[in-house]
C-alpha cells in the first residue's frame, strides 16, 4: 500500500475550440473528473516525453511553457510565423520552426526553457514527417543529432555552444532515427537510386565510433520506411512500404517488416504467416517482444520475441491497430479508421483474452501510464460529428464516456510506468476506496450498466440490428467458438425456437426407442 500511495495521479489533457483544460484521471469517486487547470485559449498543446513540461501554442507568435507539477506558466516565447514547435524529452529545450524567406535566414531555433535563451540556430528548407523535429534527442537528453545533406551531425546535448562535435558521412541519407533509451545507436535510411537497392544502416553513436555500420539491411521496391527502436536499443524494426504492389493484390501497394539487431545476430524479414499489408507494429515496454497486425482482412496478429519466433497468436478479425500497455501485461487489438471499431483485450502474461467491445469512429487510442485504463477519442478535423471520449477498463468494460460538440485533442499526461505499483496492488488500493466501478468482466451486462450509471451518461437508444446473411452468422459462430465465446447469445428467436423443437424431437425419439426395446 505504501508503494501505491507514492504513485502519481493520472491527468488528461482535453482541447476544444476554446482552448485546453486539464482533467484529473480515473478512478473517479463520483463518476466525473474534476478540473485541475481551467480552460486556457490555445491552438495546440503538447507534453514533454517525461510529462514534466507542457508546451502551449497560444497564437502564431506566442508559445508558453507550463510546469506540470504546479500547473503554472514558467516561460513565454515570442516567435513570429510559427509553423511547428516541440519539446525535448525532458523539457529542457524548445525547438521551433518558422517560415523562411531565404537560406540565410535560420528558421529552426533551439531555446532553453529554463532561461528563455536561444542556444542553436539552423536552416531547414521544408518540414516533413521524416525531417521533424530537426534535432533529435535520446530520452535522457545525453545525445543529440540532426540529419544534414549526406551526413548526420552530433551535438553535446548539455552544451550546444560547442557546435557540431562529430559528423557521420552517409551519402544520400534521407531519414534518420536515433535510439531513445539509451541513445547508443542511430539508424539511417538511403533510398533506392540508379539500380542500387535502398538500405537501412545502423551506426554506433559517439566521437570515437567507427564510420562502418554495425548492421545493414538492403531491399528493392521501397518508397518509404518507418524505423522503430526497442527499449534497450538492441533491436530495430523496419517497416518498408512501396506505392506499387507488383503482384496486383493490393491497390495501396505492399509492405514488408524487417528486423535488425545491433549485435549482428539477426538480419532479415519477420516471418508473417499471412500475405497482405503490415497494418501496425509495436514493441513491448521491456523491448523483448513486439506485436504485429498484418495481412488482408480479416487481419492476423502475432507476438514475436527478439529472435523473430512467434510467442502468441492473437487470432484474426477486422483489426489494424495494436496497443501494448506501459506495464507490458495487457494488449489491445483494435480496428479503427475505416474499420468498425472492434477491440479485443488480452492478458499477455496469462496468454488469454479478457474481453471484447467496440469504440466506433475512434481517431486516437492509448493506454494510461499506470496500464489500467484504455482511452479512445473521436476528434476533429478527422470526424466532425460524434466527437467524444471513452475510457475502458483493462478488460474492455466501459468506465467513462463524455460527448462533445467539437473535440480536437485528448491525451494522457505522460508518467514513468515505474512510478506506479504492480497491477494487483493498484486494484487493491482502488477497491479499498469503495469506488463504484466494474470489478470483473464476469458480471456481464449488469457490470456494464453499473459502469454507465456511475458515469451519469445516458446510453443511446438501441437501433434495430442490420440484416446479416446466413453465412455471416455462421462465421460469427465459428469465431465465437475459436475465441471461447458462446454461440447462443448470437442466435435469433426463431433459431432458438427451432433448436428447442429439434431437442424435443430427439428426446421423443429416444423415449420411443427405449419403449420399443423394453417391449
CATH code where residue 385 lies:
2.130.10.10
343 within a domain of the structure (yes/no): yes
Write the pLDDT tens digit of every residue in 301-328. 999 998 889 999 999 999 999 999 998 8
Is pLDDT at 425 greater than 80 in this prediction?
Answer: no
Helix ranges (DSSP H) in 330-469 = 423-432, 445-454
Q: What does the alpha-carbon distance between residue 260 and residue 238 come to, in Å, rounded to a whole number? A: 8
Predicted pLDDT of residue 487: 41
- Which band of pLDDT confidence, cut at 50, 70 and 90, is reported for residue 515? confident
For position 458, what pLDDT does the model report? 40
User: What is the band of 252 on the pLDDT scale with cuts at 50, 70, 90?
Assistant: low
DSSP string, 11-36: EEEEEETTEEEEEEPSP-SSSSPPEE
The answer to whether the predicted template modeling score (pTM) of the entire model surpasses 0.85 is no
Question: Looking at residue 427, what is its pLDDT?
Answer: 53
Residue in the block written with cell 539511417: 188
Spatial neighbors of 425 by CB under 8 A, at least 6 apart, are: 1, 3, 4
336 burial type by CB count under 10 A (0-12 exposed, 13-18 middle, 19+ buried) = buried
What residues contact residue 42 under an 8 Å CB cut-off, 6+ apart?
A: 15, 19, 20, 56, 57, 58
In-domain check, residue 385: yes
Long-range CB pairs of 125-132 (<8 Å, 24+ gap) are 125/100, 127/83, 127/84, 127/97, 130/174, 130/175, 132/84, 132/86, 132/97
Plot region of 15 (φ>0 → left; ψ -120 to 50 → alpha; else → beta): beta
Long-range contacts of 68-77 (CB under 8 A, 24+ apart): 68/11, 68/413, 71/22, 71/36, 71/37, 74/113, 75/113, 75/114, 75/116, 77/111, 77/116
Is residue 306 one of the residues assigned to a domain? yes
Is 246 inside a domain boundary?
no
Look at the alpha carbons of 446, 452, 455, 456 in this order and tell me if their dihedral is positive or negative: negative
pLDDT per position as a tens digit, 349-403:
999 999 999 999 999 999 999 999 999 999 999 988 999 999 999 999 999 999 9
Q: Range of 388's domain? A: 275-417
pLDDT tops 80 at residue 275: yes
Residue 443: per-residue pLDDT: 41
Give the rounded distance of the alpha carbon of 502 from its chain centre: 49
Average pLDDT across the chain, whole number: 82
Sheet with 19-24, strands from edge to edge, namely 35-40, 19-24, 11-16, 409-412
pLDDT at res. 403: 94
Give domain status of residue 372, yes or no: yes
Give the DSSP H/E element, type plus range, for residue 55. strand 53-57
pLDDT in tens, 185-213: 999 999 888 888 889 999 988 766 667 88
In angstroms, rounded to a whole number, what is the distance separating the alpha carbons of residues 69 and 51?
A: 9
Checking if the pLDDT of 450 tops 50, the result is no
Identify whether 431 is part of a domain: no
Domain count, the chain: 1
Three-class secondary structure of residue 473 per DSSP: helix
pLDDT on residue 247: 63
**C-alpha angle with apex 273: 272 to 277, nearest 5 degrees?**
55
Are the C-beta atoms of residues 260 and 236 closer than 8 Å to each other?
Answer: yes
Task: Kindly tell me if the per-residue pLDDT of 428 is higher than 80.
Answer: no
Whether 375 maps to a domain, the answer reads yes
384 lies in a domain? yes
Q: Is 283 exposed, middle or buried (0-12, 13-18, 19+ CB in 10 A)?
A: buried
Amino acid at each position: 500500500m505504501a508503494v501505491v500511495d507514492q504513485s502519481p495521479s493520472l491527468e488528461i489533457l482535453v482541447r476544444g475550440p476554446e482552448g485546453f483544460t486539464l482533467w484529473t484521471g480515473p478512478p473517479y469517486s463520483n463518476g466525473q473528473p474534476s478540473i485541475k487547470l481551467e480552460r486556457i485559449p490555445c491552438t495546440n498543446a503538447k507534453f514533454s516525453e517525461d510529462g514534466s513540461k507542457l508546451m502551449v501554442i497560444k497564437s502564431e507568435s506566442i508559445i508558453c511553457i507550463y510546469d506540470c507539477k504546479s500547473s503554472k506558466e514558467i516561460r513565454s516565447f515570442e516567435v513570429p510565423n510559427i509553423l511547428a514547435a516541440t519539446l525535448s524529452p525532458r523539457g529542457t529545450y524548445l525547438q521551433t520552426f518558422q517560415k523562411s524567406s531565404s537560406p540565410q535566414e535560420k528558421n529552426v531555433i533551439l531555446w532553453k526553457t529554463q532561461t528563455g535563451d536561444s542556444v542553436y540556430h539552423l536552416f531547414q528548407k521544408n518540414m516533413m514527417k521524416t525531417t521533424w523535429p530537426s534535432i533529435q534527442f535520446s530520452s535522457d537528453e545525453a545525445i543529440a543529432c540532426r540529419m544534414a545533406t549526406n551526413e548526420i551531425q552530433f551535438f553535446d546535448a548539455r552544451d550546444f555552444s560547442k557546435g557540431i562535435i562529430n559528423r557521420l558521412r552517409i551519402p544520400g541519407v534521407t531519414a534518420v532515427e536515433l535510439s531513445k533509451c539509451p541513445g547508443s545507436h542511430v539508424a539511417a535510411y538511403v533510398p533506392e537510386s540508379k539500380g542500387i537497392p535502398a538500405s537501412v544502416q545502423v551506426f554506433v553513436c559517439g566521437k570515437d565510433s567507427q564510420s562502418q555500420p554495425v548492421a545493414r539491411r538492403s531491399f528493392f521496391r521501397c518508397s518509404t520506411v518507418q524505423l522503430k527502436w526497442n527499449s534497450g536499443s538492441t533491436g530495430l524494426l523496419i517497416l518498408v512500404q512501396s506505392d506499387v504492389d507488383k503482384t496486383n493484390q493490393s491497390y495501396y501497394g505492399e509492405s514488408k517488416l524487417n528486423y535488425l539487431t545491433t549485435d549482428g545476430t539477426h538480419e532479415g524479414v519477420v516471418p508473417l504467416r499471412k500475405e497482405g499489408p503490415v497494418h501496425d507494429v509495436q514493441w513491448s515496454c521491456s523491448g523483448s517482444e513486439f506485436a504485429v497486425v498484418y495481412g488482408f482482412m480479416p487481419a492476423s496478429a502475432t507476438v514475436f520475441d527478439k529472435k523473430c519466433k512467434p510467442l502468441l497468436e492473437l487470432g484474426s478479425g477486422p483489426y489494424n491497430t495494436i496497443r501494448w500497455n506501459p506495464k507490458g501485461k495487457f494488449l489491445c487489438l483494435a480496428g479503427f479508421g475505416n474499420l468498425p471499431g472492434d477491440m479485443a483485450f488480452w492478458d499477455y502474461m496469462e496468454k488469454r483474452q479478457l474481453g471484447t467491445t467496440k469504440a466506433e469512429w475512434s481517431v486516437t487510442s492509448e493506454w494510461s501510464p499506470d496500464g489500467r485504463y484504455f482511452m479512445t477519442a473521436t476528434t476533429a478535423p478527422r470526424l466532425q460529428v460524434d466527437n467524444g471520449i471513452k475510457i475502458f477498463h483493462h478488460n474492455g468494460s466501459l468506465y467513462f464516456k463524455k460527448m462533445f460538440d467539437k473535440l480536437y485533442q485528448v491525451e494522457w499526461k505522460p508518467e514513468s510506468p515505474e512510478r506506479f505499483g504492480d497491477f494487483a496492488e493498484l486494484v487493491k488500493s482502488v477497491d479499498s476506496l469503495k469506488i463504484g466501478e466494474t470489478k470483473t468482466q464476469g458480471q456481464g451486462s449488469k457490470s456494464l450498466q453499473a459502469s454507465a450509471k456511475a458515469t451519469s451518461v445516458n446510453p443511446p437508444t438501441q437501433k434495430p440490428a442490420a440484416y446479416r446473411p446466413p453465412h455471416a452468422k455462421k462465421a460469427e459462430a465459428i469465431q465465437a467458438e475459436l475465441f471461447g465465446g458462446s454461440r447462443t447469445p448470437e442466435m435469433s428467436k426463431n433459431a432458438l425456437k427451432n433448436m428447442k423443437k429439434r431437442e424435443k424431437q430427439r428426446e421423443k425419439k429416444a423415449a420411443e426407442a427405449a419403449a420399443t426395446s423394453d417391449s
